[in-house]
Amino acid sequence: MTGLNRRIAGWSLSALAALALPLVYSNPYHLDVLTSALLYALLALGLNLIVGLTGLLHLGYAAFFAIGAYTYGLLNLHLQCPFWLGLLPAALTAGSAGVCLGATTMRVRGDYLGIVTLGFGEIVRIAFTNLDRWTGGPNGLLGIDHPRLWMPGRGIFDFGVSSAPYYYLVCVATAVAAGVCVRLSRSRVGRAWIAIREDELAAACAGVPVVHLKLLAQGCGAAIAGVAGAIFAAKQGTITPDSFDFVLSVMVLAMVVLGGLGSIRGAVIGALVLGSLPELLRGFEQYRMLLFGVAMIVVMRVRPAGLFGGGRRHARTA
C-alpha cells in the first residue's frame, strides 16, 4: 500500500469512527465537549492557512470568528435568515474582513504584523461591545434560531439543544474544510504559499504574485472562521463579545503550533488535544491550568516542530 493510500485509509477510518461515536457512546455532555473541540479544529484549519502555510503571524483570529457569528445572528434576528442561507454571508463577510486587513498590513511583517492583528482583534471585540443599537452591547444577541433540517418521513427537524446534531454538523464542516485545505496545499497556490513562508523575497523574484496570494490566504482563512462563527451562534442561540477575546486567538494559535505549522492533520489533532485536555484534567481542578501548561511545555520540548511538523521538509502538508 502506497503512502497516499495509507493516508486515505487513515482519514476514512477516522471519519467512520467519528460518525459512529454517537451511536456507541451517547453521553450528551461529552458529545458537547467533543463538538466544541471540533469547532476549535475548524478554526485551527483556517488559521493554519494563514500562519502555517503562508507564515503570517496572526494574533487576532478570533475577530473573524466574531464577525461570522454576528453576521448570522443579525441576519437571523432582523431578516429571519435561516441558518443554511446564513452560512454564505457569514463566510463572505469574514473573508472580506480578512482581505481588507491583509491589504492594510501588506508592508508589515513578523512581530509587527502580530501586534497589528492583535489590535484588530481587540478593536472588533470592543466595537461589538459598544454598538448597543445593533449588537446588543455587552449583553449580546439573544434568541438566535437553531438550525432546522428537512428529513424524509420526519418533516422539519429542529436541532434545538441536543448535542448529537451539532456534533454531526461540526464533523461535516471540519471534514469539508480539511478537504479544501488539502486540495489547496497540494495545488500551485499551496506551493506558492509555502514559498512565501520560506523566503518571500526569493518567491517574488521567481514570479510568485506575493501580494495576491497573501490576500487569498487571509481571505480563505477568515472565511473558514466565519463559517465556524455562524455554527457557534446557531448552536449557542446567544452570543456576547466576551466569547471572542484575545485568549481565544492565542488558544487557536497554540493548537496550530502544537500540531505542527503547515500540517493539516496536525491542526485538527492539536485542536482536539487542547480542546479536550482541560476537560480531561477537570478532576485536578485546582491544578488544571498548571498541568495544562506543563503538558504544553513538555510537548514543545520533545517535539519543537509540533506533533506532525517537519520544518522545511514538511512542505507536502500531510
Q: Which three cell numbers stand for residue 44?
A: 485551527
pLDDT recorded at residue 228? 96
Q: Are 107 and 205 in contact (CB under 8 A)?
A: no
Please tell me which residue, 264 or 25, carries the higher pLDDT value. 264
| Per-residue pLDDT band at 8 (split at 50, 70, 90) | low
Find the mean pLDDT for residues 184-193.
92
pLDDT recorded at residue 310? 57
Region of poorest pLDDT, from 56-70, 98-112, 146-160, 284-298: 284-298
Distance CA(226)–CA(128), nearest Å, equals 15
Region of poorest pLDDT, from 119-123, 129-133, 143-147, 284-288: 284-288
- How many other β-carbons are positioned within 10 Å of the β-carbon of residue 41? 28
Region of poorest pLDDT, from 68-77, 148-157, 219-228, 232-241: 148-157
pLDDT recorded at residue 275? 86
Question: DSSP of 37-93, one letter per residue?
Answer: HHHHHHHHHHHIIIIIIT----S-THHHHHHHHHHHHHHHHHH---HHHHHHHHHHH
Partners of 239 in beta bridges: 141
Find the mean pLDDT for residues 288-305.
77
Q: Are 182 and 63 in contact (CB under 8 A)?
A: no
Q: For 72-90, write each residue's pLDDT tens digit.
A: 999 999 999 999 999 999 9
The domain locations on the chain are 3-316
pLDDT recorded at residue 64? 97
Q: How far is CA 136 from CA 82, 159, 231, in A?
A: 20, 25, 19
CATH code of 3-316, in short, is 1.10.3470
The percent of the chain in helix, strand and coil, each rounded to the nearest 5, is 75, 5, 20
